[in-house]
Structure 1
Amino acid sequence: MGEAVPPYRRIAAEVRRRIEAGELRPGDRVPSARAITEEWGVAIATATKAHAALREEGLTVARPGVGTVVAGPAPRRDHELTHERIVTTAIAIADADGLAELSMRRIAVTLGVATMSLYRHVPSRDDLTLAMIDAAFGDLRLPPRLPGGWRAGLELCARRQWALFKRHPWLGPSMSLTRPQPAPNALRLTEWVIAAFDGTSVPLDQRMYIQILLFSFVRGAASALEPEAEAMRESGLTADQWMDSQAAAMNRLNITGGMPNIQQLTTADFDFDLDKLFEFGLARLLDGIDLFVRAHAE
C-alpha cells in the first residue's frame, strides 16, 4: 500500500480542483486558514501548510487587506514546459522589472505552471542566470571576418555589446569579472576579440587582457543602466528631469563650496549622457591600445 497523502496535500488538491473547474477564478479569495479548519476539521497548522503549498505552486498570492486570492488560471501541465520557455520568460521579466524582481515563483505564475516544475528544467537560480546570459549573448552577431583590422573590429564589438546591455539592463551586473560564467556564446565573443589581433605581434596572454579590459569598460558603463531604470520606475522621472529637480541644490553647493570649474560646467548646461560617455571612453581606450600595439610592432 502507498503512503497516505498528508491532510494539507488533500486540502491543497481540492482547492486546485476548484480553480481548474472555474469555481474559483483569478482574484477570488480562497478559503482562509480558519475556514479550512472549519470545513475540513483540521488544525490551524495544517491549514497554514495547505496555504503554503498553494503559494509554492503559484496558484495563490497574498494581497494585503484582502487575503489569499487565486493568482491566475490553473497551472498548465509540465509537458508544456521547456527550458527555452523558462529562460525567455525570465529574460522578459528581468528586462521589464529588473533582476531583483525575478523569482522562480514569478516565472511560474507568468507561465501558469507549478513553481517546483521549473526545477526539472533549471536546477538552480545560478543555472537560470547562466542560461539567461548565454541566451542574451546568442543575439549578439559579429561578422566572421574582421571589418578593417583590429581597431575597427574592437569598435564594432564594443558597440554591439553596449547595445546588448541597453536591451538587457540586468545583464552587466549579473556577469562576474573574476569568476566568469561558462556561457558558450560569451566565450565565442572572447575568442572573436582575441582573433582580432591575428597578424600583429601582440602575445596571446596580452590579447586576453585587452579583451577583459574592453569588456570591463563596456560592462562598467552599463552598470548604471539597471539602477537608472529602477529609479525611473520608482520616481517616474527621467534622468534629465531628476537633474533639473536638483539644479537649485547644485547651484548652492557650487557657490558656497569654492568649486569654480563645477560652477562653470553647471552654468554652461553640461549635458551628461551615458551614450556620450560610452563613445568618449571607447575612443580613448582604443587610442591607448593603438599605442600598445604599435609599440609591439617596433
Structure 2
Amino acid sequence: MTTEYSGTGDPARSLALLWRTRERPSRRGGDLSVDRIVRAAIEVADAEGLTALSMRRVAERLGVGTMSLYTHVPGKGELLDVMLDTVYGETARPEDVPGGWRGRLAQIARETWALYLRHPWLLQVATTRPPLGPNLIARYEYELRAVDGIGLTDVEMDSVITLVGGYVYGAVRGAVEAAQAAQRTGMTEQQWWQAHAPYLEKAMDPRRFPLAARVGTAAGQEYQAAADPARAFEFGLHRLLDGIEVLVHSRQAGG
C-alpha cells in the first residue's frame, strides 16, 4: 500500500537539495551533510520500512539531535525526494548491451527489478510527481536511448519506457512479499509449500476443480512453491517485449 508521495516538499528547496545548489560547506570533517543524512534515511527505510522513517529516527541513527538535520534538509518531504533520486543512481547503465533494443529494455527492466529488491520501500512511494533530480534525469536519458532511432515517435518512446517501468513495478511486488514473508516467518517458500501441499492434495477434489488440480499440481511441482515471482517476471517481460516489437515493426513499415 502506498504510504508516501514524492514531490510533496517545497519545489525550490527540493530542487536545491536534489541538485546540491545551496548546500552549506562543512566546517569540520565530522559535520553533517545532505549526503550523510540521506544515506542514513535510506538505511532506516531499508531496515525498518518506510513507515519507520522520520526526521527523529534518522537523527537517532546519526547520533545527533533532530533539529540539527533541519540545517541541511527542510523536512521529510524534501528528504524523501533526495532518497529516491539517490537510489535511482544505483542502476547500472552499460552502453554495450547485446540484443538490440529488446536487449536494452530487458536490461533496464532487470536493473529496476533488482533496485526494488534492494529497497522494497520504493513500492510504498507514489511517484506520479517524480523527484526531478540529476540521477532520475540521467536514468531517463539512458532509458530513452534504448529505443531511440527504431522508428517510434518521441511520445511513443516515452510511453514504452513508462510501460516497462509500470510492468516491473507490478511484477516485483510478489518477489518483495515473498522475501518479506520468508524473513518474518523464518520459512522459505519451498518449505511452506512442502508443508501445505500434502494437505491440499487430500482436501481438494480434482473432480470439482479439474483445471485447478491439474495446472496447480504441475506448477507446484515445477516451482516447489505456490508461485515463482522471478520466473513469472521473465515470462511477462518477454511477452511485453513481443508486444512492443509489433509496434516497432508497424512503425518501420510505415504504419
Give TM class, smaller chain.
0.7 to 0.9
Paired position in structure 2 for 1:267: 217
Q: State the match for 2:160 in structure 1.
A: 210
Cα distance in 2, alignment partners of residues 227 and 296 from structure 1: 39
Q: 1:237 aligns with which of 173, 187, 194?
A: 187
* Residue of structure 2 in register with 1:292 after alignment: 247
Cα drift, residue 82 of structure 1: 1.3
Instruction: Point out 4+ residue stretches in structure 1 off by more than 6 angstroms.
Output: none
Moved more, 257-266 or 116-125: 257-266
- The one of the two structures with greater contact order (alpha-carbon pairs below 8 A, sep at least 6) is 2
Matched letter for residue 115 of structure 2: L
User: Is the 8 Å Cα contact of residues 151 and 286 (structure 1) preserved in structure 2?
Assistant: yes
RMSD over equivalenced CA pairs, Å: 2.6
Contact 2:50 2:124 (8 Å CA) reproduced: no
> In the alignment, what sits opposite 2:59?
108
The residue type paired with residue 185 of structure 1 is N
On the 8 A contact 1:169/1:222 being kept in 2, the answer is no
Deviation by residue 1:100-140 (Cα, 9 ceiling, x = unmatched):
22222221111111112222222222212211111111111
How many percent of aligned residue pairs carry the same amino acid? 39
Q: 1:88 to 1:188 in 2, by over 3 A?
A: same
Change (3 A) 1:91 1:130: same
Aligned to 2:10: none
Consecutive unaligned residues in structure 2, runs of 5 or more:
1-27
Distance 2:174 2:73 in 1: 29
Deviates more, 1:222-231 or 1:123-132: 222-231
The answer to whether the Cα contact below 8 Å between 1:98 and 1:226 also exists between their aligned partners in 2 is no
Please name the residue that 1:97 is paired with: 48
Mapped to 1, the partners of 2:45 and 2:74 lie a distance apart of 19
Normalised TM-score (structure 2): 0.76
How many residue pairs match? The answer is 221
Whichever of the two has the greater Rg, that structure is 1
Conserved 8 A contact 1:78-1:117? no
User: For residues 161 and 96 of structure 1, what CA distance do their matches in structure 2 show?
Assistant: 20
Please tell me whether the aligned partners of residues 134 and 183 of structure 1 are also in contact (alpha carbons under 8 angstroms): yes
Contact 1:91–1:132 at 8 Å: present in 2 too? yes
Q: How does 1:115-134 map to 2 (within 5 A)?
A: 115-134=66-85
Give the direction of change, closer, same or farther, for the CA distance of 1:267–1:125 in structure 2 (3 Å limit). same
Counterpart AA for 1:281: G
2:208 and 2:137 map into 1 onto residues whose CA distance is: 49
Structure 2: how far apart are the matches of 1:220 and 1:199? 28
Distance 1:163 1:260, change over 3 A: same
Cα distance change on mapping 1:100 and 1:248 into 2, 3 Å: farther
1:96 offset after TM fit, Å? Answer: 2.0
- Alignment check: 8 A CA contact 1:200 1:293 kept: yes
User: 1:257/1:227 Cα in 2 relative to 1: closer, same or farther (>3 Å)?
Assistant: farther
CA contact (8 A) 2:97 2:103 kept: yes
Q: Pick from 144, 148, 151 the counterpart of residue 201 of structure 1.
A: 151
For the structure 1 residues 119 and 256, does the alpha-carbon distance in structure 2 shift closer, same or farther, using more than 3 Å as the test?
A: farther
Taking structure 1 as the reference length, what is the TM-score of the superposition?
A: 0.66
- The 8 Å contact of residues 98 and 230 in structure 1, kept in 2 or not, is answered as no
